[in-house]
Chains A and B, each alone.
Chain A
Amino acid sequence: MAKMSSLERVATALQGKQPDRVPVATLAIARALWEIDANPRDVINDPKTMARAKLVANERFGDDVIVAGIDGCFVEAKAMGAKEYWARHMPIVDTRYRVIKTWEDVDDLSMPKPEEFPRMKAVMDEAAILMEKVGDHMAIATIVSGSFSTVCNLMGHEALYRAMVKEPKEVHRLLEKVTDYSIEYHLALKGKTHALGVLDPVAAVETTSPKQYEEFVKPYLAKDFEAIFKDGGMIPINHPCGSCTGILHMASVEIIPEGAPGGISANYGHVHERRSDLRYLKETVGEVTLDPDDPYSIMLAAVKKEIGGRVGIFGNIDPIGVLLEGTPEMVRAQVRRNIKYAAEGGGFILASACDTAVDTPSANYKAMVEATKEFGVYD
């Protein structure tokens, strides 16, 4: 097979098809700023510097995907009035301050035009620079927030999870409003990015039940994904972040428009911690021997069996236990196991299961990419 560009490789995998080799995404997102010794506080709204950091990291590590933005799961909530505080790597939403304290507050939500809200404008400009510089051959993905996680950022976790049981109609009213505004922002990225990584970290099943996912997450993501693809010409990728036992089909196949490319990125399950994840794994692929040092890779076998061939599957390198704390040898071993479980037939992008930590060693990113290039070539 002729050698593909990174963009062709990723696009092929996101259609569930087989490229020349397994594409690889390190997800060195905020971490990229450390490659140019830049402090996120100083440069976050400087699109040129942000883009330069992402390009430098991509050149050094050699992966196939560049990600625009760093605080993707908070931007929409900030535009709607959420307060932020600075962690070391990014400004995150401070849920101690609740934008929605009563249901009357839903009617008064601020919704500035994306071009007029500085943080949204900065992300749009960063993405546009990346597209202009390398978008002809490199896959550009921009991270944004799923409506459910934005609502959580506006209400606070406990209030939302209580309201889903006690006042579901009001939660739906808020979700509808937030979804419409999110779509406005997501469509403002049209032409500036190939894909949108829709971050919905609180929608994983460590927190949200499959029944709640079906009622409060899926319909709004489906509406957003349809707009992203049909009106925006961009590829939607869902990132529910954690375990997907019981929601995997809803979080991927059922929300990606028929015939459209799309992807899912998560860690899919914690087989050593949750009996339900282990049960799902065994029910899907039969009796398995678990590697106590690698609870991540094996979940790909079940995920591949359930949704393989229909959407692109991202994963499943452990961002903490392996990329941050491990050695290049551990990274290589996990890459090899990931490829064994998920690469056959294509539709797989080897990636960190989540955003990577800012202290992740460069050697581990390089090992991840080199090992993918070594073990992930299709015949």
Chain B
Amino acid sequence: MVNLEEMKTALIEAEQEKAVQLANQSLEEGISAHDLISKVIMPATKVIGNKYEDGEYFLSDLILAGETLEAMMKPISGKLQAEIAAGGKAMAGKVVLATVEGDIHDIGKNLVRIFLEGFGFDVVDMGVDIPPNAVIEKAIEEKADIIGLSCLMSVTRDNVEHVVKELEKRGLRQDYAVLVGGRSTTEHWAKEIGCDGWASDAPTSVDSAKSLMLQK
């Protein structure tokens, strides 16, 4: 039997080959994808987030751990979908994620995706420089719970507000929670323009997204 603590450590320390091998082996041994997420992925990403906040981990660590997580999630996601289809536990929620129109910065957004996926969210990552209407169309198509918007530059902040306004205009405002983050954003501003949540960084986006799902 695979030692789950060993797998958790491999993820935290970004030992990609070992982590993926242990994930595959444990799935073959019959552990459920849900158990792997709750017993390995979620606690490991929590440790990674804490290490970042404590100044022990930095961007390189997050990128390498993120790549390890992505590689592990490939076999796990496939099994998870099958478990959901068979009536098992649902994903934590569905998030359509994008960097706003006019902004091509993606590193923060990518980290948010990795962290949200690690905590069991189903994330549709649209990429960067995405117009408000395209974000909303995708949220409708994907039946998303949350629209996540990343915005690094102050000159593109208006495009977050455009998404909120367009949702209102279409009578869809109650259908989607809007979560925003990025260096040019503040909690005060996010509330003022009508967003439902704000996250200061990738690790805290998970708590914000969970909180938004509880309010739905």
Binding site for B on A (CB under 8 A): 85, 87-89, 92, 94-96, 157-158, 161-162, 164-165, 205-209, 212, 245-246, 270, 273-277, 279-280, 319-321, 324-325, 357-359
Contact = CB atoms under 8 A, between A and B. Distances in A.
B186 A320 contact: yes
Contacts of B61: 209
25 contacts: A87-B155, A88-B102, A88-B156, A89-B155, A158-B63, A158-B107, A162-B63, A206-B59, A206-B201, A209-B60, A209-B61, A245-B55, A273-B53, A273-B200, A275-B55, A276-B56, A279-B54, A279-B55, A280-B55, A319-B154, A320-B154, A320-B185, A321-B186, A321-B189, A325-B189
Contacts of A275: 53-55
Contact of A358 (B59, B104, B155, B200): B155
A212 B60 contact: yes
A357 B155 contact: yes
A93 B58 CA distance: 23
A170 B166 CA distance: 47
A87 B105 CA distance: 12
A273 B53 CA distance: 8
A94 B102 CA distance: 11
Interface residues of B, number: 29
A162 B60 contact: yes
Contacts of B185: 320
Contacts of B184: 320, 357
A143 B154 CA distance: 19
Nearest to B111: A158
Q: Which 9 A-B pairs have the closest CB atoms?
A: A276-B55, A357-B154, A209-B58, A207-B59, A88-B155, A161-B60, A273-B200, A157-B107, A275-B53
Contacts of A273: 53, 200-201, 204
Interface of B: 53-56, 58-61, 63-64, 67, 102-104, 107, 110, 128, 153-156, 184-186, 188-189, 200-201, 204
B37 to A, nearest CB: 24
B153 A87 contact: yes
Contacts of A164: 60
A208 B103 contact: no
Given A245-B55, A273-B201, A161 B63 contact: yes
Nearest to A326: B188
A202 to B, nearest CB: 9
Contact of A325 (B54, B60, B188, B201): B188
Contacts of A96: 104, 128
Contacts of B104: 85, 92, 94-96
B55 A87 contact: no
